[in-house]
Amino acid sequence: MTYAFPAPTVRPASAPKTAYLITSGDLRESANVAGWAVQAATEAAVTAAFADLGWSVVRPFGVDPETGHGYISSQRMGMEVFKDIPEDAPLVVATANWQYSHHVLAGLRTHRGPILTTANFAPDWPGLVGLLGLNAGLTKMGTPYSTIWSVDFTDDWFRAGLAEWTSTGVITHDASHVRALPALPDSPEKQLGEALAAQILADKAIIGVFDEGCMGMYNAIFDDELLNATGIYKERLSQSALYAEMLTVTDADADAAYDWLIGRGMTFRYGQDATTELTREQVQWQLKMYIAALRIADDFGLDAVGIQYQQGLKDLVPASDLAEGLLNSTDRPPVTSRDGARILHEGHAFPHFNEADEGVALDALVTDRVWRAMGLEPDNTLHDVRWGEEVDGRFVWVYEISGSVPGSHLGGWQNAEGWRQGHVFFPAGGATINGVSKPGEIVLSRVFIADGILQADLFRGSVVELSEEETRRRKEATNPEWPIAHVVLHGQTRDQFMARHKANHAQLVYAPDAETADKALVAKAAMLAGMGIAVNLAGDVNI
């Protein structure tokens, strides 16, 4: 008998002083086409920087004449591209957009040469956002990599880092601002955190995940074996079930929620053309999603819920922004059970984790319990770490999140305005919860996977007030339809944060003053540590 023995693809041989460059794109072709010009300019600048060091850059695939862009836009395409890359070659992943990490993870997981991730540090297209997501994915799967970023790829710091990588295969960043959580001195806050940890480990909790992973964030998927050890379990749900439940919500129920918002002072920027403008019908569907999500959460006894936000339902119904922000708000429209007998979670926020990021799920659940136990307002949300610049001698970050911001973060619903989500990403529209986050003291964090275990970085910051002119400039430079927070981190420079942070998301919650914020951080650290999570402190943290 004759057998046809398969053979793996023979990879090309690497050449000296030659790096291969790839880029991962979006699953939405409209976004890939819109962002290609910025990506092409970024690649040209990176290639020029390599050339100045006497290196060549090879792009193993070209621009698709049909789509008009040169992104890796699917997991299969990524596997095919890696067949033309020497396994031991220096490899650069250049990012000037939001990218779906799973497009390239297969090739990166088995690549043996040094890997460099780099991005533009710019407001218009979120290269640094995609970079942080990709870095977190590489960290999760234990793949060594170096990373660096730049505004225009000509500054001395970037050039020095690139020279280090071409010489040694690594870039060393300053991590002196990070330390493992020391033994906490005994205090009521430490005792509270430990008691809350003991409770969740004994009684357990459930997070509901609608279509896990469809946003392409490998780093946002937490294995059950790791998550269950903290007392948290998953209920895996289908977005089709959410849509089906939305169809059962009456117009009267959605109208009541709308009237509640209008009564609280929220306004909406309506237009006539639903393809590019916000309409009342779009908002109606968002309110039905809000009600449906709470009723499904009630069905399964959930403690938190995560909607996939952009993917999955984007072609079917308006974006989930309004629903998410309402869920994360203590002050929100009342929702009754289907039989009308009960008001669901009356007087409480119901933690929602945007983009079904399970690091956010754990974080939001812990934050909610700690803040409520301390008698504080628990409303919390993730933000995209979007961009930043110096203002009057201090670096002020632009944090933006199109979904899940609570009205209280804006100072109340009277300061919230619904703008239509961009049609490039959201063909069915839907209102954001637009506004400017109020100044105040905040606790920030990220739960992530590194070294095969769950870890959490905790740090402090302040939301500051900038001039109306500067706020407008920053919003227009990024996404003017999204809510913005002007964030100053305590004891962390821009580059220290970028090198350390293991996600494109940072969790944000307010405290009434600095002393209370410090105490709440201690309670949160104690709870996380009591759940078996390795806790790290970043920057200036008073414990």
Token pair belonging to 177? 């601002």
CB 93 within 8 A of CB 24: yes
Q: So what's the pLDDT on residue 395? A: 98
Separation of alpha carbons 495 and 485, rounded Å: 19
Burial class for 6, CB neighbours closer than 10 Å (0-12, 13-18, 19+): exposed
Q: Which amino acid is at 500?
A: R
- The structure tokens 């072609």 sit at 315
Residues 6+ apart with CB under 8 A from 214: 308, 311, 312, 356
Token pair belonging to 509? 């919650």
Closest CA to 500 of 473, 536, 462: 536
pTM of the model as a whole:
0.96
C-beta neighbour count of 468 within 10 angstroms: 9
Separation of alpha carbons 377 and 330, rounded Å: 8
Token pair belonging to 79? 């596997």
Separation of alpha carbons 362 and 132, rounded Å: 19
Residues in the chain: 543
Instruction: Give the distance, in angstroms, between the CA of residue 104 and the centroid of all CA atoms in the same chain.
Output: 19
Instruction: Give the distance, in angstroms, between the CA of residue 75 and the centroid of all CA atoms in the same chain.
Output: 21
Spell out the per-residue pLDDT of the chain, length 543, in tens.
899 999 888 989 999 999 999 999 988 888 899 999 999 999 999 999 999 999 999 999 999 999 999 999 999 999 999 999 999 999 999 999 988 898 999 999 999 999 999 999 999 888 999 999 999 999 999 999 999 999 999 999 999 999 999 999 999 999 999 999 999 999 999 999 999 999 999 999 999 999 888 777 899 999 999 999 999 999 999 999 999 999 999 999 999 999 999 999 999 999 999 999 999 999 999 999 999 999 999 999 999 999 987 676 888 999 999 999 999 999 999 999 999 999 999 999 999 999 999 999 999 999 999 999 999 999 999 999 999 999 999 999 999 998 899 999 999 999 999 999 998 889 999 999 999 999 999 999 999 999 999 999 999 999 999 999 999 999 999 999 999 999 999 999 999 999 999 999 999 999 999 999 999 999 999 999 999 999 999 999 999
* CA terminus-to-terminus distance, the chain: 73
Sign of the alpha-carbon torsion through 189, 193, 198, 203: positive
Angle of helix 188-203 relative to helix 514-530, nearest 10 degrees, comes to 40
Q: So what's the pLDDT on residue 313? A: 85
Residues 6+ apart with CB under 8 A from 181: 458, 525, 529, 534, 535, 536, 537
